[in-house]
A and B are shown apart, each in its own frame.
Chain A
Amino acid sequence: MSRLIPLVKGEFDRLNKYNLFTANFVVLLLWVGLAWFFEGEELKMFLPAVFLLDATMMTMLMVAATLFYEKQEHTLNSIMVSPVSEDEYLLSKIIVNIINSLISVFFISAAVYFIKDVTYDYLKLVPAVIVVTVVHTLFGIRLSYYAKNFTSMLVNFIVYVFLFLFPSLFALLDIIGPEMARFLIILPPEASRILITTIVQEVEPWKLLFGYGYLLSLSFIFYRFIVKPKFNDFLMRETGV
């Protein structure tokens, strides 16, 4: 694991050079700008949606974009013929996305505190964002594996958003009623929403336990049985078959 630090540092350097940080920052500014128009309880309902979108959609897009660049420029070849293990490589992606998500949490929280004097339970937010980011980083990697080009990667991403994320957002905005929303908990974004919503409202303990247990199990299963085993296939295609 000694190569994790240089891998993470290298990944941050590239996020900066490839302007992915800038893109992320622009989105954060957009969220803060939107938050300006909300007050009190409305703002407290809006913020979990922001954190949810950042830890899910942005995470998936960021990791998919970095993998896309590495695939396009064949740099993955070069990394994989250095003493870097598959675990180190994949873990570096997860760590970078966790740090990115936490930077977003810090930035938005600081902004709404100074602009609107709004606070919430940060100790509940941080672990929730970490778990949500981990599972969605793995989803993003999985989506990238089978993307032939950037367009197909975006199509895969949009399909995921439509199928899994939109129902959760509808539930968050009360477009879907609580009765129906109960069944959505098996969707990863909905389980994520429940964990993040705890920062502004009470959530039944079983839902919280289920949410953490489910997402952590999903992360483990995804990593162990899908992302890591398929990495070699991805590498084989990437190396130009």
Chain B
Amino acid sequence: MIKVRNLKFKYPKNKEYTINGIDFEIEDGEVFGFLGPSASGKTTTQKILIKLLKNFEGEIEYYGKPLASYGDDFYQDIGVSFEMPISFSKLTAMENLEFFKRLYQRTVDVEPLLKRLGLWEDRDKKAGEYSKGMKIRLNFIRALINNPKMLFLDEPTNGLDPANARIMKDMIREFKEQGGTVFLTSHIMSDVDELCDRVAFIADGKLREINSPRNLKIKYGRRMVKVEYREGGRLITREFSMEEIKTQAFFDLLKEKDIETIHSGETTLEEIFIKVTGVALRE
């Protein structure tokens, strides 16, 4: 669906490239995640893909044709949710959505979306009176208003409470199940881990790794079991590799000791990210 080759981008006042020669492809119907710390180039890449930033170097193809060859009708196919609130503050949520609906050829009924994301009761409230979380939810509905084929989501759950983050993640998954494609940027590891078919690690404008979360864990992770038990009043922690748990020593430990907890110690994406890029996610 999207092919990116040797993409480079430098903001006019910067000396260095914000995006420095990245390559990736997004397949039809997949959720492709961009994981990286602040100012790593995630949002810039998204802005290039949605044609807000134009003076890039390299090649971008959308369905086999250069992205630049698409006119404004490109936007009939995509939905974009920005990280920051993007509503007219003195208009109600409904007025905001009605305005944007009029700009598209095909639109959806917003009532079910507003209801599902808990904004229906507040639909006639001015967007400026919304909390940050409500504004983010309104952004997401705005992105879905034209029944897009592809969604570009920039930190979609950032600022949401866990319940609404759950609803939004369910909706993203349903969008994918219905054939939609998603480009998702985030610094929240759990979102990427849960939602993405493949994830790209970006740091300092370069892609360091692209793979599925599962493959990344297999490739870089430590697969082990952590056991905590009491001995002489002290809490002792021991780690066993997958090979070690088949040994008699492991079974003896379980049998003889006062076991308190047993955890599978799977390496998180965040730990893998740091290992691969040498950069912490929460900068």
Contact = CB atoms under 8 A, between A and B. Distances in A.
Interface string B69-97: 00111111010101011111111000100
Interface string B51-82: 11110000000000000000111111010101
B54 A78 contact: no
B52 A80 contact: yes
Contacts, number: 82
Interface string B92-126: 00010001101111000000000000000000000
B72 A75 contact: no
B3 interface: no
Given A14-B90, A17-B91, A83 B84 contact: no
Given A83-B104, A233-B12, A77 B52 contact: yes
A3 B73 CA distance: 12
Nearest to B75: A83
Nearest to B47: A239
Contact of A236 (B53, B78, B90, B105): B53
B100 A82 contact: yes
Interface string B109-151: 0000000000000000000000000000000001000100000
Interface in A74-88: 74-75, 77-85
Nearest to A82: B103
Given A81-B75, A239-B52, A14 B11 contact: no
A84 B43 CA distance: 22
A236 B48 CA distance: 11
A6 interface: yes
A81 B90 contact: no
Given A77-B82, A83-B73, A235-B52, A10 B11 contact: no
Residue of A18, A78, A233, A236 ringed by the most chain B CB atoms within 10 A: A78
B53 A6 contact: no
Contacts of A82: 75, 100, 103-104, 146
B95 to A, nearest CB: 7
B102 A6 contact: yes
A240 interface: yes
A123 interface: no
B72 A241 contact: no
A18 to B, nearest CB: 5
B171 interface: no
B99 A74 contact: no
Given A73-B89, A77-B82, A85-B72, A10 B99 contact: yes
A52 to B, nearest CB: 30
A10 B102 CA distance: 9
B91 A13 contact: yes
A232 interface: yes
B165 interface: no
Interface in A1-27: 3, 6-7, 9-10, 13-14, 17-18
Contacts of B102: 3, 6, 9-10
A219 to B, nearest CB: 24
7 contacts: A13-B95, A78-B87, A80-B52, A81-B78, A83-B76, A84-B103, A241-B13
Interface of B: 11-13, 43, 47, 50-54, 71-76, 78, 80, 82, 84-91, 95, 99-100, 102-105, 142, 146
Listed from nearest, the 9 A-B pairs whose CB atoms lie closest are A6-B102, A17-B90, A82-B103, A78-B86, A81-B80, A83-B75, A74-B86, A83-B72, A10-B99
